[in-house]
A and B are shown apart, each in its own frame.
Chain A
Amino acid sequence: MTKVYPTAAAALDGLLRDNLMIAAGGFGLCGIPELLIAAIRDSGVKGLTVASNNAGVDGFGLGQLLETRQVRKMISSYVGENAEFMRQYLSGELELEFNPQGTLAERMRAGGAGIPGFYTKTGVGTVIAEGKEHHDFDGHTYILERGIVADLAIVKAWKADPSGNLVFRKTARNFNVPAATCGRVCVAEVEEIVPLGSLDPDMIHLPGIYVHRLVQGTHEKRIEQRTVRKRESV
């Protein structure tokens, strides 16, 4: 049995249905599973709940699933880059649950680690804490947050071996690790699938046990904010 599939659509075959909950990796447009997002768009599934730190931009990343109205609800920490998101949210077409960024990451990590809930100081005394169980430990107040277990996790890595071991590159790791672990099924897209034995076992960022399906592809890797400095003239 192989984990390697020829296309993103093939890698998602049999996994997609309406009203699915999906956890997606990426921060901004960095390290997003762009091929899998495009394949989900093309599949036409609707009513999706997507846990992702951001919601892409207009026309790219998760922004594509918003344009086609395939998303019912987003669980995110920051959605400021997406005008279509704002339009749908303000008109009531799209549900939004704001999570503090670290709470969202830990909800995914906990869900993947078999931990149904955890206490955190983050958000105490704010709207985030409303309706949540409060508990004092050692003189500090914490709130209970729930782990997330998603029906499907979609992530993007740099390299994989055929067993699903993943290596990420620079800050493109971000939410990909916690998102991958919280999926009942995880599909990973990578820039390169290398032969077994060519990744150093000491340098694996995410062990293949978390990754069920793999697809290799070419990524656009769009830059959101291109900032540069001038070379000093010598």
Chain B
Amino acid sequence: MWDRNQIAARAAKELQDGTYVNLGIGIPTLVSNYIPPGVNVTLQSENGMLGMGPFPFEGEEDPDLINAGKQTITELPQTAYFDSAQSFAMIRGGKIAMAILGAMEVSEAGDLANWMIPGKLVKGMGGAMDLVAGVGRVVVVMDHTSKHGESKVLKACTLPLTGKAVVNRIITNLGVLDVVPGGLKIVELADGVSEAELRAATEGTIVG
């Protein structure tokens, strides 16, 4: 089974050299720690920046320089800044090759739910709906099951959707699944996880 960092490291293998990528908050943020050598990607932050650098050294925080999670960050030599309308124009316009996002639930049809639990605190979707609608490829990183052991890879999402038929690949603590016509296809098993275990933890239809 993979831990959070191993999920992030596996997701980092999805990154293609020379592309522009948006990483969500949580496990997706960890992906930037595992970008393979020789792979050069430019990270987009939807609050208006391409070329996101690492966290600043203590004492060098700049309140005018934050990421979409409102964390202080730094710029790089290739950094460009722009306004929010421009930022989402490049997202909606398909210029961002890939988004790696967290999820609460994913369905076998690639539906994604990651913004709202009815009856609980509603914080908002932020830029997630725009990202899944606009970017070339959506990779979801998440735990395969809830704390209570219930599958989060479902036949149909129970929570309000962030996007319909938008997810291409799901990377969890148990392995890697692709959304394909008719259901989900097993791509890879996590270390020490059997196919039977992955199937048992997946409510959605596995094909092939």
Contacts and interface: CB of A to CB of B under 8 A. Distances in A.
Interface of A: 27-31, 53, 76-81, 86, 89, 98, 100-103, 105-106, 108-109, 120-128, 158, 168-178, 205, 221-231
Contacts of A229: 54-58
B51 to A, nearest CB: 12
Given A120-B92, A223-B63, A230-B58, A100 B127 contact: yes
Given A28-B70, A77-B126, 5 more contacts: A101-B127, A106-B85, A125-B163, A126-B164, A173-B82
Name the prevailing secondary structure of the B interface residues.
loop
Contact of A170 (B60, B75, B89, B121): B75
B interface, how many residues as a size bin? 35 or more
B64 A105 contact: no
Contacts of B122: 89, 98
B125 A105 contact: no
B128 to A, nearest CB: 8
A77 B47 contact: no
B160 interface: yes
Contact of A227 (B72, B84, B128): B72
A129 to B, nearest CB: 9
A165 to B, nearest CB: 15
A224 B111 CA distance: 32
Nearest to B57: A231
A53 B58 contact: no
Contacts of A77: 124-127
Interface string B115-154: 0000001111111111001100000000000000000000
Given A178-B83, A223-B61, A102 B130 contact: yes
Contact of B92 (A80, A102, A108, A125): A102
A225 B55 contact: no
Nearest to B161: A126
A122 B130 contact: yes
A80 B84 contact: no
A168 B64 CA distance: 9
B63 A173 contact: no
